[in-house]
Structure 1
Amino acid sequence: MAKDDEIQEITPGTPEFAKMVFKLNEAVTEENLTVLNYNGNELTQIDDGVYAQPAYVADDFNLFFVITQLIEQDWIIAFSKAKIENESEITDLSEPIPTGQALNMLGEVSPDDANNLLQYFNTLTDANRGEWRLLQ
């Protein structure tokens, strides 16, 4: 039986993983912004305290990172579905989608890209830049 303070492994692709969010250990600043870049893309400030960058773009499915303070003072990396017009104009972003839920969605479309994103989050965890949290 697991103790309350032990970390429980939650597997990507499961309903439990859909309830996971990735919390950054520090606020996003100009000084640390570039360490969060993914796959050659750069985070762009789209509003006060809201940053976005492409995570996965295809003809039929798009996900963008959205980094903001969503839960109390915690900076969270969530995702948003994007509407793209004229091949490059982002005209709409959906409400934030929890990190795990978005990775599960991407896993159904492109397992390799979902695994690449999961590795990105593992790298951030290993560098002590963030951690997975279960939404209550």
Structure 2
Amino acid sequence: MANDDEQVEITPGTPEFGKMVFKLTNAPTAESLPVLNYNGNELQEIEDGVFSQPAYVDDNFNLFFIITQLIGEDWIVAFSKATIENESDITDLSEPIPTGEGLNMLGEVSPEDANNLLQYFNTLADANRGEWRLLE
């Protein structure tokens, strides 16, 4: 039986990893938003308290970051699948997808990009800007 303090490693690409979310340590602010930018893209507030930016854009698969309070007071970095028309018009975003599930989906399309995103999250965790949590 596992001890509550025991760290259990959950491997990307597994169903268990699909239940992981990345929780920010603090609410996004004008000062902290640039730190969260990924791959030259900037987070945009798309509605009050909801921030988004492209994570992966391709002809057949588009994934956007969604940062919002999804679980109580916790600010979560989730993903949303996007529909893009006319090369740049975002016409639809799906319901938020848990961070791990989104990375697993991307891993099936582009393992290299999924690894780059995983490194992005690990860098944020190493800088105490967030942490991985398992959804119960």
SS of alignment partner, residue 102 of structure 2 = helix
SS of alignment partner, residue 12 of structure 1 = coil
> Gapped runs of 5+ residues in structure 1?
none
- Shift of the alpha carbon at 1:99? 0.2
Structure 1 stretches (4+) deviating beyond 3 angstroms? none
Counterpart residue number, 1:92 = 92
- Shift of the alpha carbon at 1:80? 0.2
1:72-113 deviation per Cα after TM superposition (whole angstroms, max 9, x unaligned): 000000000000000000011000000000000000000000
Distance 2:79 2:5 in 1: 28
Counterpart residue number, 1:118 = 118
Distance 1:37 1:31 in 2: 12
Counterpart residue number, 1:128 = 128
Q: Trace 1:25-36 onto structure 2 (pairs within 5 A).
A: 25-36=25-36
Counterpart residue number, 1:105 = 105
Identical amino acids, percent of aligned pairs: 79
So what's the TM-score if we normalise by structure 1? 0.98
> Gapped runs of 5+ residues in structure 2?
none
Alignment length, in residue pairs? 136
SS of alignment partner, residue 87 of structure 2 = coil
Counterpart residue number, 2:71 = 71
Counterpart residue number, 1:44 = 44
SS of alignment partner, residue 7 of structure 1 = coil
Counterpart residue number, 2:18 = 18
Q: Does 1:81 align with 2:81?
A: yes
So what's the TM-score if we normalise by structure 2? 0.98
- Shift of the alpha carbon at 1:2? 3.5
Distance 1:17 1:113 in 2: 17
